[in-house]
Amino acid sequence: MHEEVDIIVATIAFGMGIDKPDVRIVMHYDIPKSLEGYYQETGRAGRDGGEGRCITFYSYKDIQKLEKFMQGKPLAEQEIGKQLLFETVAYAETSLCRRKLLLHYFGEPFHEDNCDSCDNCLHPKEQFEGKESIVKMLRVVRDIKEKFKAEYVVDMLVGKPTTALKAYNHHELEVFGSGDDQDVHYWSAVIRHSLVAGLIIKEIENYGLLKLSEKGWAYLDAPYSIMLTRNHNYDEMEEETRTGASTAAVDPQLFSMLKDLRKRISKKLNLPPFVIFQDPSLEAMSTYYPITMDELQNMPGVGAGKAKRFGNDFLELIQSHVEDNEIERPIDLVVKSVANKSKLKISIIQNIDRKVSLDDIAESKGIEMNDLLKELESIVYSGTRVNIDYHIDQVMDEDHRDDIFLYFKEDAESDDIPTALEELGEDEFSEEEVRMVRIKFISEVGN
């Protein structure tokens, strides 16, 4: 919390980072057991709106390990575990946009063709017709009577006469070596894709024996086109330059000096650093070099309250950095871009003073309620008070309001919305309600 260390490693990620909004990288060294887990854990990166990179190391061996843990558990539990794991594999193996897949999984639509962020959108995988290979593989599974594991099926395909294989006289079958024009990796991928496509089933309780599904039998009779994807060989790829253009203009030296200053102040006041200024605010300062109180207040996430409370030290540091390095400040730019942004905020505050309902404000500004709440959150988090009681009292019953308020006041370890929903009960409370009361809470208590 006080940034004394840069990296935290854990074997179980439960609850990690939920009260820190500026986690920059979430790295999974093992694949999680379910997409729910993956989504929750990756969701902890970049909650302040700054960069959040999620990197997952995926190896099919990890899946096999997880499957092994499941053996011996009650059958019903195995079934559920198998299904969850299956979805995780499908996610890891996909060549589609990962953002789209993940959102879709949780029932949210995503209509962009290219999210410009996930590996599959940034580096599309090469696709090729897989019909012939799939048929070859299914024939092997059929001819060895569905009694063997994936590795065995691969040995059959590439024509590797292992002792086990010879013991069954399988090297004399016609299908033995029918795929010897490709290697082990290729056939393992064909099997994984066919599992995802539902053509074969893996029986975990039976040590992972491969069987044909009904769909698989039908496929043998009447095969159709299925596109497979070739995995990247990153060893052969040229080193890419890092993306993330958002931080391009940031003065890295100043940024790190500002972070040090924030750390010192946070120690002195015994406050977590992000309560002082969040990373995006420091990034903006290292881009626009504000040196007066007015300019500082115009930085995203700063606001009058915080500028007064914490700003002086930062301004001094920026000023001396600008002088020492004879930096020309792009201040005209600031005034323009900030003016437009703050126009909306000012108008929202004025409307709230006049007790216009939030729905009407959103409509008149041509924005969604979600965006309006975001604006309000940014307003209160930067130190300005707003009173939306008139609206809350109209759209929410008293008990709900009090329950949520009390939760933030007494129980909450962080202001995180998903956690709040989980604690309060997602069936009973809506995200919008919780966000509105959080705005009230931050406004009354935090400022």
Contact set with Zn ion (CB under 5 A): 97, 99, 115, 118, 121
Nearer to Zn ion, 114 or 337 (CB): 114
- List C-alpha distances in Å: 241 to 52, 110, 230, 332, 447: 17, 28, 23, 31, 42
Task: For residue 228, list its beta bridge partners.
Answer: 128
Query: Which of residues 94 and 430 has its CB atom nearest to Zn ion in the complex?
Result: 94
Burial 319-338 (b: 16+ CB within 10 A, else e): eebbeeeeeeeeeeebeeeb
Of the two residues 53 and 365, which places its CB atom closer to Zn ion in the complex? Answer: 53
DSSP β-bridge partners for residue 229 = 127
Task: Yes or no: say if 50 and 280 are a contact pair by the CB < 8 Å rule.
Answer: yes
Q: How far is the CB of 57 from Zn ion (least distance, A)?
A: 19
- For 35-57, what is the HEC assignment? HHHHHHHHCCECCCCCCCEEEEC
Q: How far is the CB of 51 from Zn ion (least distance, A)?
A: 16
What is the SS3 string spanning 101-118?
HHHHHCCCCCCCCCCCCC
Q: How far is the CB of 102 from Zn ion (least distance, A)?
A: 10
Spatial contact of 10 and 66, defined as CB atoms under 8 Å apart: no
> Which residue's CB is nearer to Zn ion, number 231 or number 337?
231
Query: Could you tell me the two tokens for 140?
Result: 């092997």
The helix/strand count (H/E) of the chain reads as 22, 6
Are residues 112 and 186 in contact, defined by beta-carbon separation less than 8 angstroms?
no
Burial class (CB in 10 A: 0-12, 13-18, 19+), 245: exposed
In the complex, what is the shortest distance from the CB of residue 126 to Zn ion, in angstroms, rounded to a whole number? 17
User: For Zn ion, which is the closer residue by CB, 97 or 201?
Assistant: 97
Radius of gyration of the chain (CA): 28
Residues 6+ apart with CB under 8 A from 15: none
Smallest distance from Zn ion to CB 114, Å? 6
**Shortest CB 204 distance to Zn ion, Å:** 31
Q: How far is the CB of 117 from Zn ion (least distance, A)?
A: 6
174: DSSP letter: T
Please state whether beta strands 227-230 and 126-129 pair in parallel, antiparallel, or not at all (unpaired). antiparallel
> Residue 56 or 443: which CB sits closer to Zn ion?
56
Q: Which is nearer to Zn ion, 121 or 135 (CB)?
A: 121
Q: Nearest approach, Cβ of 368 to Zn ion (angstroms)? A: 22
Q: Which is nearer to Zn ion, 102 or 261 (CB)?
A: 102
Dihedral sign, Cα of residue 340, residue 341, residue 347, residue 353: negative
